[in-house]
Structure 1
Amino acid sequence: MDFKLRFLPVCLSFILGSFLFFSCNIEGDLPPQNEVNLFATAEDIPELSIFSEAVGLALLSQPLSELGPFTVFAPSNEAFEALFREVGVSNVRQIPADVLQGVLLYHIVSGRILSKNISSGSFPTFLPETSLTIDVNGSTILINESTSIIRRDIEAENGMIHLVDEVLFPPSNTIMEALESNGNTIMVQALIAAGLAETLASEGPFTVFAPSNSAFERFLEDNLLTGTEFIESPLLDTFLSYHVVDGLLPSQNFTVGPRETRVDLPIYFSEAINGNLWLNGIAGINNTNINADNGIIHVLDYVLTPPTENMLDYLQNTSTASDAEFRILVQAVQLLGLEADLQGGVDENLTLFAPTDAAFENLFDELGINGLEDLDQNTLRDILLYHLVPERLFSQDLREDEPLQTALEGASLELNIADQLVNEANLLPDFLNTLLLNGVIHGIDAVLLPDE
């Protein structure tokens, strides 16, 4: 079914409540006594047979019979038949009743309005928070810029009917349209390229964490990528789906910790000391609760990257690079047979404060030794376990008054948030908040010793 019809489900109790609230008793506003109510009047007009059937299916015949006064812009049979062709149905019974309710409510306004009294402007309808726009130019009356009144001033006991030549629809505002309206044009282009535009124009609901245009530009620059390379990536679908959560998640329901995405990998919320929320330790949330018909959007100041490696894979892969920083750490892990401690998936939650090669070399100089082989293995094991915390902690999660209990029994780390220190080691900005499947790595410029 066409997307225009998918976003109009309306609760019947709300509909009837709306009619009751906005309607008045029809007594005292009656035309001549031989006239009948709106529903009965429509039933007597051959050109409105489909409209009358739709009113009955939508359970609106009683309000249009007993309440009022209303003015109804009733689509002709030809108008409904054109809609059926557009959305791929053969009759009005194939359109869900709740959808019909929404469509029909958009054709009804309050009061008895003769065509000669219609003026240009916006007219609130009984579909919540939506209005019709009417333009009058001489004898010509256009509704929503293109729909014409083809038969005017059919009076009923409780209102007025005007036949129109099209079925009217409220302005749609899918997530894709809301992104465009909000200026997230790079996100829109990427979603289209990834084949996700149709998904995000479907019923949903979805929550989208949308990087701003400047966020994408910084991400591309940081990763030495061109826009074309990014758009043509075979992983673009996965990459963008990592920014989408099924269901509605307004900002008031944000909680620290993981939240599953459409790629079965969590994103992680952290709260900084100042109360600001971050995702994956790298993206701040600039704007929240941008509503769409099928979901909600929050704007990020950086792009999220789904993790693909565990800690061991990451350290081993980076240790072979020309500008590698963690070769000695990898050698230490292998020397002690601790590889299994750094493997695993998203169900494991670890934080590793990873000393750089320079940090290890400074330690060797201080101890007057040549390398790892000169360290007692039990001592080296304690040192490595002292760098590992059995929690997934981004830098925003760290608190000065909460020492971190490490994997070394009975040993904890002290934090200095103002100076970005763990014990006496500096947290390195270039290696901060590296998200991996089984945890987070923070690079540090000194080896931490448990007996200090």
Structure 2
Amino acid sequence: MKHLFKNVFAATLVLFMAYSCSDDDNGTTPNVDPTTTVVDLALDTEDLSILVTALTRANLVTTLQGDGPFTVFAPTNAAFEAFLTANNFASLDDVPTDVLTQVLLNHVVSGTNLSTNLSTGYISSLSTAGAEGRNLSLFVDTSNGVVINGVATVSTPDVTADNGVVHIVNGVIGLPTIVDHAVANGELSSLVGALTADGNTTFTTTLSDDQTTFTVFAPVNSGFSSYTNPNSYDINDVLSYHVIVGDAVYSDELSNGYASTFATNGDGDNLSQYINVDDGVVINGGSTVAIADVVATNGVVHAVDNVIDLPTVVTFAVADGTFSELVGALTTSTPETDFATVLSGEGAFTVFAPTDDAFSNLYTALEVNGSSDIEEGLLTAVLNHHVVSGNVRSGDLTDGISPETLEGDNITLNLPGTGDNIADVTDGAGNDDIGIIVVDVQAFNGVIHVVNKVMLPDTMN
């Protein structure tokens, strides 16, 4: 029996090998099933013929026949026809090739993303039409089917190929601006409502401009619902304060420091924001980035958990860890004077703000452990010696200018400063080794200039 089994197996193996090494013509080419690519699926679907023509015109066929894997959101012929009409193109040939290429790539995502694996949130397409050449973001909404960027609904999901998957959609996904992203995401509906209240088109027009780049810190709905606008600011000013004009600042480019926003004070000076990245990204100490780097053609959106209110000079002192000693001196060490309330008022104030290092050097010179060890009357006089009435920006300074401080003594500023100083300062006590090292941190009620030494008044007068 063993011998019989061996002989049958051997004969079968010989026949199998002979069959495998033959074909209908010359017996030399093996029969192998061809690989099915996402392009082949499109070719085999009559309702995707315009997509195939577009891919051919944009020279993307070979790309999508590659290993991938790719996820393709494939618009139907009707979707393409609607897209051409909406954008005043008579035919596909009228679409500039570079634009067509980026639009098509905005329908392609890396990886095999089946509909069951998609969830509400952002993914990156292969289009590099984003600001600074970044990959555009796509917003996927799975709350009711699968909708991409609010404009394309998946009608036929999960048509699988060997190098990915195709989802047929009923709309062409255009190249989104910041406004398009805001409209697509339901979590930003309160922001959109605020931007367009009473028929206002200022923001939608501005933030749709593809000739300028923007960074927008966009409050989510819960942030808007909890915002009470305690100072009754004009909501348009508040909204402007969430926008940085002229730069798309991505999360990997952020660092601790100040940025200039679209909002202005009464004099037309652009207000500053303090950005801290020590633990996530926090704006002005009270608004945290929840979703970073939503890439649009004209900039980037960072969704934040709270509305960022217009800042006072106190806002920056509290938010910027550089001024922790100054905050302590203004609050716990001077209980008889409510500096926080005063400097949060209408102003305007110009504050020459000493750094923590400046206070540390003062404590060493006075042989004390901190501001609480300094007699309150003296400390109050010192603090008032750092404040000047009015919004005096660096451009308003001239060599030898000698403004009076709230304490009563004058300080003298000389331009340009020596060494790393932007300006040199002589305080009321005659100390002339003080330097302004940062200028024009602009609040709604005044401006801060940072100094590297605590200024002392004339205690003899």
TM-score by length of 1: 0.45
TM-score by length of 2: 0.45
